[in-house]
Amino acid sequence: MQVGVTSVSPIEAESAFNRREVTGLLKERALSEGFEKVGIVPAERLDGAHNRLLEWLGRGYHGQMAWMARDPEMRTDPRRLFPAARSVVVVAKNYCTAARHTDDPETGKVSRYAWGDDYHEVVGSRLRSLLAWIKEEIPQAEGKVCIDIQPMMDKAWAARAGLGWIGKHTNLITTEYGSWVFVGELLLNIELEYDNELVADHCGSCTLCIDACPTSAISEPYVVDSNKCISYATIELRDAKLPNNVADNLEGWLYGCDICQDVCPWNRFEQNTDESRFQPREGNVNIDLADVLELTTATYAERFRGSAMKRAKLAGLQRNARTLLETHSQAKMQVRR
């Protein structure tokens, strides 16, 4: 449920409900909806995140993702997205499963987040249920559900709400589940009790993610240049060919890339998710590259219905598959020589 921004107004602090009690009940409800972590903070601009975003955009590190540069104010100030917002409820959902990739060169590896059903719908449905509950408890309450496709800096909000810290690879890291978590927000027009404790940065002197990135996409700690990122190139880039730096260093990745997370020491604390919809679909951990090249528009739509993998589009996925097969063929020829 996403409410039109012109039809609601904020409920001021003096409204007739116990903020502390409602906050406690809201957090309990979020956990009962299946979220592992929840924090609540004021709907105010994140000045630090705003400044870092502008610097990142100024370097051109967003590549072809032009939408990132549209109204950066909205990405760090939820009141630009939902003017009535007074509180931001931030949740995290663990998506780790026990499956593992293989190194079969006839297949392409898929990023873990896309193994199961589309997280937008899985997390979004739980947030919509949470919104429906709060509206039953407080009829004047209205809100907006945000899960990745809305212009919210999810990881920055999660760090602000004390769910974890943003690591040197720029992913959110939690002490309980590592970095295998989805983040979403519920913007509400009611004032609540707010969390003020932040999780300290525990990356320390570790540079494993930086050292492991085969394309040197992590240009410096806490900064990723999308133009060099395998995940960006295989999902977001619409060019007919992958950049040489990426094409030569795919290391088997067809869709996305988890290298920086796979090497992160904090992911030794990973736990298997209790969400059945995140369990890998058949053939979604490693995908047969020949099968990808045989897909038609119709079979592609059927194969990836309800999957986050449709983000890459058929042309992009087949481009990636061709690149992997060409790289493997060239490697075999060199071995024969």
Supply the angle between the helices 119-137 and 19-32 in degrees, to the nearest 10.
Answer: 150
Beta strands in 196-243 (DSSP E): 218-220, 223-224
Of 34, 19, 33, which Cα lies nearest the Cα of 137? Answer: 19
Q: Assign 6 to helix, strand or coil.
A: coil
Distance CA 234, CA 256 (A): 6
Angle, alpha carbons 76-210-230 (nearest 5°): 75
* Structural contact between residues 97 and 280, judged by C-beta atoms closer than 8 angstroms: yes
**What's the one-letter identity of residue 260?**
C
Distance CA 114, CA 130 (A): 24
Structure-block tokens of residue 59: 């370097």
* Structural contact between residues 146 and 185, judged by C-beta atoms closer than 8 angstroms: yes
What does the DSSP 8-state code read for residue 229? -
Distance CA 187, CA 157 (A): 12
Residues carrying an active site annotation: 148
